[in-house]
Structure 1
Amino acid sequence: MIQIFTDGAASGNPGPGGYGVVLKSGKHYKELSAGFRRTTNNRMELMAVCVGLESIKSLNQEVTVVSDSKYVIDSVEKKWVFGWVKKGFAGKKNKDLWLRFLQSYKLHQVKFIWVKGHAGHPENERCDELAVIASKSKDVGIDSVFEVENQKLL
């Protein structure tokens, strides 16, 4: 069983942002994070889950994703995202990341657990810390899909 803890952050929303991921399986532990010069909190929450799932090396694993993002968890658990796919994501944001998520989601047996953010959950707090540090890093990437889709906001 693999546990993926995730969090995303954005200052200004949109603004500088980042994600943090903690992966745990048995005695294995890994942290992942990255920052972006302009993005949104929801994109970073979803990107964290994508990166976590994509980092799993074997197929058909039992995976528990622990997140404080109702946006991500409700979209999957309430099956909204599958309806969005059927409608071509008409009027929905983050199509690129949802399609990316679905590619790795279908490879495993994934369940989600929601935790309250900033409530002392150790791994969630660590993911938040990783996301904030990444968002403030001098070595940030470009969330190119977001920036192209939102050029009028620049």
Structure 2
Amino acid sequence: MDGLLSALAASEAATALRFSRWSYAAANTAHVLGVAVLVGGILPLDLRLLGLWPRVEAGGLVRVLVPMAAAGLGLAVISGFLLFVVRPLDYAGNTAFLTKIGLISVGAASALSAHAVWGRWLERAGGSVRARVGAVSMLCWIGALIAGRMIAFTGD
């Protein structure tokens, strides 16, 4: 694994990001924007699952917010990878980073299963089932956001 991480650190992309004044800043800004769009799309859906806005038709929220959250996740993953290659050996051993990746994995799997597997069933499911799905999602995404911010304050 160290060989792969070292190769990433030595890549042209990593070198460009490390030594360019603006490329790292652009990747960092793209990452923040991606996270904002992701969390901004997910949290209203989670709150709806928790019972907020019961008169608002869930299908309309899903049609608007799911593509928005997916686009945010895509931007955050791509830009996050660019940030990762700058110091992959450091990040691979950072507990906050590993926590963030774990929470993102659980949050993404939860979202995929909620939309692909459960589909309309989730909308018809009991309030406690919807609330659990919403609570898990909120904990994952807010936890990933906090863990991501803590990366700067942990490690070397």
Which TM-score applies when normalising by structure 1?
A: 0.29
Larger Rg, first or second structure (1 or 2) = 2
By percentage of residues, which structure has more helix?
2
